[in-house]
Structure 1
């Protein structure tokens, strides 16, 4: 086969390959959008997040999608939490809440009432479903009945700095402990330094919170967090 013939044929081959690729993409898209598609929702890029679905490589992307769209976020939370939708809070350029909700429950755990951003509520729901509850069952053979907290929204600066806290937009929640269905009470301030299952539980739920929040600060970070986990939606901060 001559080089000249090969050169003439190559553009045809490239066009044919491109056509085939486009056809495959369009066919796949049509199949995923079809109401009777055999593809599970958790693997379908056109289906929104469902908190109780098993984790897949698409989960993080679906979570980002939901937390960036307050309307979608609230729809997802209606299926897994107990929320009251509220109008956005507009205070000034530094403080306010987009996607504001009052949260009273996530999954099987009471948590409220707490006024927060839906994105914070949804990340908390993912943590409760895929981290907190499985760890409690594994260590105590009991479930978490209540997640204790000291709030989410607070229009203030970070202590000792001129920077606004992520609490100023309800983009964080401070968790102080947990109550279990068997009556066990677990508190960071009391139980973090013990050498028992309570301390192990706290460290494991701290570690798994980093799967769902951008930053986690706790007793290992500094003394100011000795009594709570600061769970923050965004950032590439520490998990300590």
Structure 2
């Protein structure tokens, strides 16, 4: 009868769910760490469908974020800056390196730093190696924190006002070559790959295709849902 089939199906779902949970929590689980949603994020782990979930857990509080970031970046943890309700840096860090790439020291949030580290590891370095046969040694940026409104708006605050964004303009390769977005945007497949890859780690990434204000950099911000 139909109701018996429904009960049987429900029972199978419960058993499957129980089995899946057991697989996740068992201390001797064969499930790899990078597939296990209750295991903490490790920046160098392979990317899987649960990686975004792990990032969300890692950035919930500053202590967890810093512990996750520390093996894959060079930074100094700093006290928060509270200029006003709309201008501040919480979970502030002074970042000087992500992965293998140095940065001019930049004060930002731990979350922004962690997302940049994921982009460097899993998007920037692989695409640059495929395109140029070299690795990136320096990421050039246009800062993160800036207490201001969105350009062209007199009221809406920029995500830079809370350091929830960073602007990336280019990078330097191992052989010393300088790669600038504003000069090389015509190589759209490469740069669009960097932008689209950025959208995996950041909520919003804006570049030259968005408007002239972003002609020379990628605006990479933690929240949103826009990639252009």
The answer on 1:105 being equivalent to 2:87 is no
Aligned partner of 2:152 among 155, 160, 164: 160
Query: C-alpha separation between the residues in 2 aligned to 1:80 and 1:90?
Result: 27
Alignment TM-score, normalising by the size of structure 2? 0.89
1:141-161 CA deviation, whole Å, 9 max, x = no partner? 100000000100111111221
Deviates more, 1:71-80 or 1:17-26: 17-26
- The match for 1:63 is 55
SS of residue in 1 equivalent to 2:118: helix
In the other structure, the counterpart of 2:166 is: 173
Q: 1:112-127 alignment to 2 at 5 Å?
A: 112-127=104-119
- 1:221 aligns with one of 190, 210, 226: 210
Aligned match of 2:177? 184
The count of residues paired between Structure 1 and Structure 2 equals: 227
Deviation at 1:176, TM superposition (A): 1.0
Are 1:40 and 2:32 matched, yes or no?
yes
SS in 1 for 2:31: coil
Aligned-partner Cα distance in 2 for 1:42–1:231: 25
Q: What is the TM-score of this pair, normalised by structure 1?
A: 0.85
Distance verdict in 2 for CA 1:17–1:167, change over 3 Å? same
Following TM superposition, by how much is the alpha carbon of 1:83 offset from its aligned partner in structure 2, in angstroms? 1.4
Q: Deviations over 1:37-82 (max 9, x none)?
A: 3211111111111111111110111112212332211111011111
1:130 aligns with 2:106: no
Matching residue of 2:132: 140
Distance 2:36 2:216 in 1: 41
Match for residue 232 of structure 1? 221
Q: Say which SS state the counterpart of residue 182 (structure 1) adopts.
A: coil
Give every structure 1 segment of 4 or more consecutive aligned residues whose post-TM-superposition deviation is greater than 4 Å.
Answer: 16-28
CA distance in 2, matches of 1:203, 1:23: 44
- Counting only pairs closer than 5 Å after superposition, residues 53-92 of structure 1 correspond to structure 2 as 53-92=45-84
For residues 16 and 181 of structure 2, the distance between their equivalents in structure 1, rounded to whole angstroms, comes to 53
> Which residue of 203, 207, 212 maps to 2:196?
207
Q: Which runs of 5+ in 1 are unaligned?
A: 1-5
